[in-house]
A and B are shown apart, each in its own frame.
Chain A
Amino acid sequence: MRIWAAVLSILAAATMVWAFYLIFFYAPTELTMGVVQRIFYVHVPSAWVAFLAFGVVALCSLGYLWLKDDRLDAIAISAAELGVVYTTAVLITGPIWGKLAWGAWWVWEPRLTLTLLLWLIYVAYFMIRNATENPERGKRFAAVLGVVGAVDIPLIHLSVQWFRSQHPQPVIMRPEGPTADPAIVETLFVSLLAFTLTFFALLLYRYGLERMRMRVDALRYRPTTSSVTSAEGAFR
Chain B
Amino acid sequence: MRDFARQSALIAHKDLLIELRSRERLVSTLTFAVLVAIVFSFALDPTVRPVRIAGAMVWVTILFAGMLGLGRSFTLEQEQDALVGLLLTPIGRGALYFGKFLANLALLVIAAVVVYLVYALFFQLSLGGAAAGLALVTFLGCVGFMALGTLFSAVAASTRLGDTLLPIVLLPLLIPIVVFGAGATQLLLIGRPLAEVGGNIRMLAAFDLIFVALCTTVFGTVVEE
Contacts and interface: CB of A to CB of B under 8 A. Distances in A.
Interface of A: 65, 117, 120-121, 123-124, 127-128, 131-133, 137-138, 140-141, 143-145, 147-149, 151-152, 155-156, 158-160, 162-163, 166
Contact of A132 (B158, B203, B215): B158
Interface pairs A-B: 8 shortest CB-CB: A131-B159, A159-B179, A159-B176, A120-B172, A124-B169, A155-B176, A117-B172, A131-B161
B181 to A, nearest CB: 10
A120 B158 CA distance: 21
A127 B161 contact: yes
Contacts of A143: 221
B53 interface: no
Contacts of B210: 151, 155
Given A123-B168, A140-B221, A144-B221, A159 B151 contact: no
Contact of A131 (B160, B173, B225): B160
Contacts of B207: 155
B203 A144 contact: no
B18 interface: no
18 contacts: A124-B168, A127-B168, A131-B161, A138-B159, A141-B155, A141-B158, A145-B155, A149-B173, A155-B176, A155-B206, A155-B210, A156-B172, A156-B176, A159-B175, A159-B176, A162-B179, A162-B183, A162-B203
A65 B221 CA distance: 7
A35 B159 CA distance: 48
B214 interface: yes
B151 A144 contact: yes
Given A128-B155, A137-B225, A149-B173, 7 more contacts: A117-B172, A145-B169, A147-B218, A148-B148, A152-B176, A156-B175, A163-B183
Interface string B182-225: 01000000000000000100010011001100110010011001
Contacts of A131: 159-161, 165
